[in-house]
Structure 1
Amino acid sequence: MAFSSFAEFIAMGGYGFFVWLSYGFTATLLIVLTINSLSMEAKVLKKVRKRSQREEKLKQAALKRKEGK
C-alpha cells in the first residue's frame, strides 16, 4: 500500500489509531518482558553464587572435622 503523504501513512486509511496502539502495546510488552527476564536472571545468578558459597563452606567444615578426628 503506497501513501501519498506522511499524514496518510500515520492515518493508515482510518485505522491508524488501532495500528499504532497495537504497535505501542507490543513494544511496551517486549520492553517489560526484557526487563523482567534480566532481573530474574540476576536473581538466579545471585542465588547460585550464594549456594555455591554455602556448599564451599560446608566442604571446608567437613574437612576440618575430618582433620580433627
Structure 2
Amino acid sequence: MNWGEFFAMNGYAWYVWGSFGMALLIFIVEMVMVRHRRTVILQQLRLTSNAEDL
C-alpha cells in the first residue's frame, strides 16, 4: 500500500476525509462558542458585582 492508496481509501476518500473535516470544524466552532459564552458570562458577573458595590 502506498500513500496515494491510503488517502484514496478505495474510493471512499471524499466520505471519510469529509467526515473528519466536518467533525474538526464542529469541534472548532464549539470551542469558539464556549469561549465567547464564557467571556459574556464573566462580563455579566463583573457588571452585577459592580452594581452591587454601588
TM band (smaller chain): over 0.9
Answer yes or no: is 1:36 the counterpart of 2:46.
Answer: no
For residues 37 and 2 of structure 2, what CA distance do their matches in structure 1 show? 44
Larger relative contact order (CA 8 Å, sep ≥ 6): 2
- Number of aligned residues: 54
Deviations 1:2-60 (A, max 9, x none): xx111111111111110000000000010001001000000000000000000011xxx
- CA RMSD in angstroms comes to 0.5
Any runs of at least 4 consecutive aligned residues in structure 1 with deviations exceeding 6 A, and if so which?
none
Who is 1:10 aligned against? 7
Compare CA radii of gyration and give the structure with the larger one. Answer: 1
Q: For residues 25 and 52 of structure 2, what CA distance do their matches in structure 1 show? A: 41
TM-score normalised by the chain length of structure 2: 0.96
* TM-score (ref. length: structure 1): 0.76
